[in-house]
């Protein structure tokens, strides 16, 4: 199996991991593979070995920063190798994806907060960009907004944009960790990732915080709108896990699973608000525990 061979080659020697981490981080289309390598080494060999690979993978980012492209460098490292390394340690010790989702959400909120303090005019910049695009959108849709409605819509949209960007970066980090775990599972524990992915469940504390934040959005405070995509993210992924498990218990074929995940991706790309269905499913699962209540054996 190709995944198993790739994982074993990376873990065969330190030099292999170092070179591949640097090589992939330098390739724009495949730069995401570098954090995967960091995650794999951390999962199998621990914090120290993973940290060394992390430092090698960060070399390209450092060069970019020196050459003035510091924003890309910070994004590559700040939502790439560093959080993957930390989350891989947590996953190695707890084997709990729910904790991983909650921790990356906290990390993303902290990152968004720092961005807002470091770039206080960012909201206004996004608002101006959105207002410049709205007239053309109005013509396409066939709707005419008043000046006050345009400003309100642009303000709300600008509030959400930052959260969406950070949430997207966080999801990318989780995908990289997912691939790292997948490589480890393929090489050493077949079926481990599939089992873990089917049992992701949020806890009551996270649920209360999410509902409380949703209520706070009624206050009109812009930052609460920015937080909503980040807070919703772990619940959406947990809901997908619940749906996956329910489908598996019904004996769903691999083709149907492909159709299901294709539908999830299409929702993400074209109608992201529809993903809140999964967030609601995860929220209900906290209190109803659908998987525990099902009597039929898992497939």
CA 168, CA 175: separation in Å to the nearest integer?
Answer: 11
CA 139, CA 204: separation in Å to the nearest integer?
Answer: 45
CA 121, CA 139: separation in Å to the nearest integer?
Answer: 29
Q: Are 183 and 35 members of one domain?
A: yes
Q: Are 53 and 86 members of one domain?
A: yes
Q: Are 233 and 94 members of one domain?
A: no
Q: Are 203 and 137 members of one domain?
A: no
Q: Are 62 and 190 members of one domain?
A: yes
CA atoms within 13 A on the CB side of 209: 15
Q: Are 4 and 126 members of one domain?
A: yes
Residue 143: inside a domain, yes or no? yes
Q: Are 96 and 119 members of one domain?
A: yes
Of 206, 203, 197, 204, the C-alpha closest to 231 is 206
Q: Are 32 and 125 members of one domain?
A: yes
Classified as helix, coil or strand, 282 is helix
Residue 161: inside a domain, yes or no? no
CA 108, CA 275: separation in Å to the nearest integer?
Answer: 19
Q: State how far the alpha carbon of 195 is from the alpha carbons of 176, 216, 246, 248, in Å.
A: 18, 36, 13, 11
Q: Which domain holds residue 128?
A: 1-155+170-195
User: Tens digit of pLDDT per residue, the chain (299 long)?
Assistant: 799 999 999 999 899 999 999 999 988 889 999 999 999 999 999 999 999 999 999 888 878 777 777 776 777 778 888 999 999 999 999 999 999 999 999 999 999 998 888 888 877 888 888 888 888 777 787 777 777 778 888 888 888 888 898 999 999 999 999 999 999 999 999 989 988 988 899 999 999 999 998 888 767 676 788 899 999 999 999 999 999 998 888 888 888 888 999 999 899 888 888 999 999 999 999 998 888 877 554 44
Residue 235: inside a domain, yes or no? yes
Q: Are 208 and 119 members of one domain?
A: no
Classified as helix, coil or strand, 271 is coil
Q: Are 118 and 180 members of one domain?
A: yes
CA atoms within 13 A on the CB side of 125: 6
User: In this predicted structure, what is the pLDDT of residue 55?
Assistant: 92
């Amino acid at each position: 199996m190709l995944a198993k061979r790739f994982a074993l080659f990376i873990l065969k020697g330190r030099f292999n991991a170092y070179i591949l981490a640097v090589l992939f981080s330098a390739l724009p289309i495949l730069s995401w593979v570098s954090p995967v390598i960091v995650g794999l080494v951390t999962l199998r060999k621990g914090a120290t070995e993973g940290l060394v690979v992390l430092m090698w993978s960060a070399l390209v980012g450092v060069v970019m920063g020196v050459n003035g492209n510091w924003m890309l460098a910070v994004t590559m490292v700040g939502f790439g190798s560093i959080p993957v390394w930390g989350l891989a340690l947590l996953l190695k010790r707890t084997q709990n994806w729910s904790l991983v989702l909650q921790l990356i959400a906290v990390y993303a909120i902290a990152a968004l907060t720092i961005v807002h303090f470091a770039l206080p005019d960012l909201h206004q910049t996004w608002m101006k960009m959105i207002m410049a695009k709205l007239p053309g959108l109005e013509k396409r849709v066939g709707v005419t907004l008043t000046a006050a409605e345009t400003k309100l819509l642009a303000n709300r949209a600008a509030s959400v944009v930052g959260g969406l960007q950070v949430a997207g970066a966080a999801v990318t980090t989780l995908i990289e960790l997912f691939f790292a775990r997948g490589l480890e599972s393929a090489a050493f524990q077949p079926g481990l990732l599939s089992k873990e992915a089917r049992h992701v469940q949020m806890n009551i504390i996270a649920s209360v915080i999410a509902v409380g934040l949703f209520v706070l959005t009624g206050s009109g405070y812009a930052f609460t709108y920015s937080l909503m995509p980040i807070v919703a993210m772990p619940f959406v992924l947990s809901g997908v896990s619940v749906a996956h498990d329910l489908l598996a218990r019904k004996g769903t074929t691999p083709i149907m699973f492909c159709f299901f995940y294709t539908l999830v991706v299409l929702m993400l790309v074209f109608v992201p608000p529809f993903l809140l269905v999964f967030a609601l499913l995860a929220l209900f699962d906290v209190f109803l525990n659908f998987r525990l209540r099902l009597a039929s054996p898992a497939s």
